[in-house]
Amino acid sequence: MTSNLHVPIAVGGISHHDADISALEQFRFEDERSVLSDAREWFRGVCLLQTCNRVEVIVHGEASQLEAFFEEQGRTGYWILEGEEALRHLLQLAAGIDSMIVGEDQILGQLKASLSCSQEAGTCNAVIDQCITKAVHVGVEVRRRTQINKGAVSIGSAAVQLGEHLLGSLEGKHIAVVGGGEMGTLVTKALAAKHLTAIYVTNRTHERALVLAREVGGKAVKFEELYHYISLSDVVISCTAAPHPVIHADRFVAMMEERRWPLDQRPRPLIIIDIAQPRDVEPGVGSIRGVHLFTIDDLRNVSENNMHTRKKEASMAARFLEEELSQFVVLLNRTAADDALASLHTWAEAIRVRERDRAVGRLQGTDEKTLAVFEDFSRVLAKKLLLDATYAIRSGAECGNLEQAEALVRAITRGEHTCIRKRD
């Protein structure tokens, strides 16, 4: 069986492999719904994946179309993969092999959320649905078959590790977590096991902060009290979903002075770890005396250590992904036959209804029971007559011979002559 993909699939964008946080911010699409709406005019199906470490667009279309779309959107510095390479990338992505923190599980939820957004925006067709659903399924199976996510950390827990490394220990420290979303939850739960003196949790929606603080025995604080509780903290981890900075440099100068004891020469050090994308903390905060600001880029060392300890598992996962790739191709080729089958069944349904009505019209005083018999009989007959043709069309598409499948449909519906070669 040939494994050539006969469905135009492309994926493109940037990620932590080739871009720093500044480049990711510039490439990011602020209004996802608007972008998906624009993309609807370009592609048969499209899905947008935006995380802390990547901005990627998956399309049912040609690579050249995706390149033109990026250019129209004013994006540069991107890469594009097409065909089987695009599918391989999606499998590696879902498996956690392509993540900054190798084996992390958060990407599975992010892929599902992206698919859901695409569905709500009306840009998800059968091919895009198959692409994301299959990738997520394989990602789950990789984690079941290997230990690639054993001891794996998310970006959030990597931030906690960084804080622990910088201070030697977090025991007895005061920590402020800014953001109560998915990332904030991961961070806060990772902190809960560190024997802290206090965890302050704040979020623009105070109810969310209350729920999260209750889960970990922390204190929920109102967002307008943010700077007061930052001044009480040793480490601040910020991870909101805000489209702009929420921590500003001009508020920090006076606040840092408040951290100075009367006889101290300088303020007590404050560590800020900004893992939001786009950034929560204005870059100028890092230049203020006593403040040590770290971003996602500083977590790359955690990723490298993480990868080093899991190379064997990643290699096992890669072999499994290659086996799944051929099945992925067959699945998409089969999906591509659906359009051809739809036209075949539409043609057959039109004939069935026409002939049913002619037959019923020749009878006088037909009762409801007789009409139901005619309806059931005509449906079953049409279905059985198309059974072999449907099987042949799907089989041809699965083998990568979509042109043969489409030619068979034309031969049936339009009476066109077609020469179907016997495959070796």
pLDDT of residue 1: 38
Does the predicted TM-score (pTM) go above 0.85?
Answer: no
Asked, for residue 246, whether it belongs to a domain, the answer is yes
Asked, for residue 139, whether it belongs to a domain, the answer is yes
Q: Domain ends where: 268, 288, 306? A: 306
Take residue 282 and report the two structure tokens written for it.
């204005």
- What is the number of domains present in the chain? 3
Q: Name the nearest CA neighbour of 196 among 224, 222, 209, 177.
A: 177
Give the CATH number, domain containing residue 246: 3.40.50.720
Do residues 3 and 326 make contact, with C-beta atoms less than 8 angstroms apart?
yes
**Same-domain check for residues 257 and 384:** no
Asked, for residue 256, whether it belongs to a domain, the answer is yes
CA angle in degrees (0–180, nearest 5) for 423-131-69: 105
**Same-domain check for residues 146 and 13:** yes
Distance CA 102, CA 82 (A): 24
Among residues 52, 117, 124, 131, the one annotated as catalytic is 52
Given a cut of 50, the residues of the chain with pLDDT beneath it are 1-3, 416-424
Looking at residue 62, what DSSP letter applies? -
Asked, for residue 314, whether it belongs to a domain, the answer is no
Q: Is 168 exposed, middle or buried (0-12, 13-18, 19+ CB in 10 A)?
A: exposed
Give the CATH number, domain containing residue 98: 3.30.460.30
Do residues 304 and 74 make contact, with C-beta atoms less than 8 angstroms apart?
no
pLDDT of residue 420: 47
Element (H, E) at 235: strand 235-238
Asked, for residue 297, whether it belongs to a domain, the answer is yes
Do residues 304 and 263 make contact, with C-beta atoms less than 8 angstroms apart?
no
Distance CA 345, CA 163 (A): 62
The size of the chain, in residues, is 424
Instruction: Report the SS3 class of residue 318.
Output: helix
**Same-domain check for residues 18 and 136:** yes
Q: Which domain holds residue 257?
A: 155-306
pLDDT of residue 366: 75
Regarding beta strands 45-51 and 270-274, do their DSSP bridges make them parallel or antiparallel, or are they unpaired?
unpaired
pLDDT of residue 148: 78
pLDDT of residue 361: 79
**Same-domain check for residues 71 and 145:** yes
Dump the DSSP string for 71-89: HHTT--S-EEEEHHHHHHH
**Same-domain check for residues 161 and 299:** yes
Handedness of CA 45, 88, 276, 16 (dihedral sign): negative
**Same-domain check for residues 263 and 122:** no
Dump the DSSP string for 117-177: HHHHHT---HHHHHHHHHHHHHHHHHHHHS-TTTT---HHHHHHHHHHHHHS--TT-EEEE
**Same-domain check for residues 52 and 129:** yes
Helices and strands in the chain, H and E counts: 15, 10
Distance CA 11, CA 86 (A): 6
pLDDT of residue 415: 64
Asked, for residue 322, whether it belongs to a domain, the answer is no
**Same-domain check for residues 285 and 174:** yes
pLDDT of residue 14: 95
Catalytic site includes residue 52: yes
Distance CA 113, CA 319 (A): 27
Take residue 58 and report the two structure tokens written for it.
């998956």
**Same-domain check for residues 30 and 94:** yes
**Same-domain check for residues 352 and 288:** no
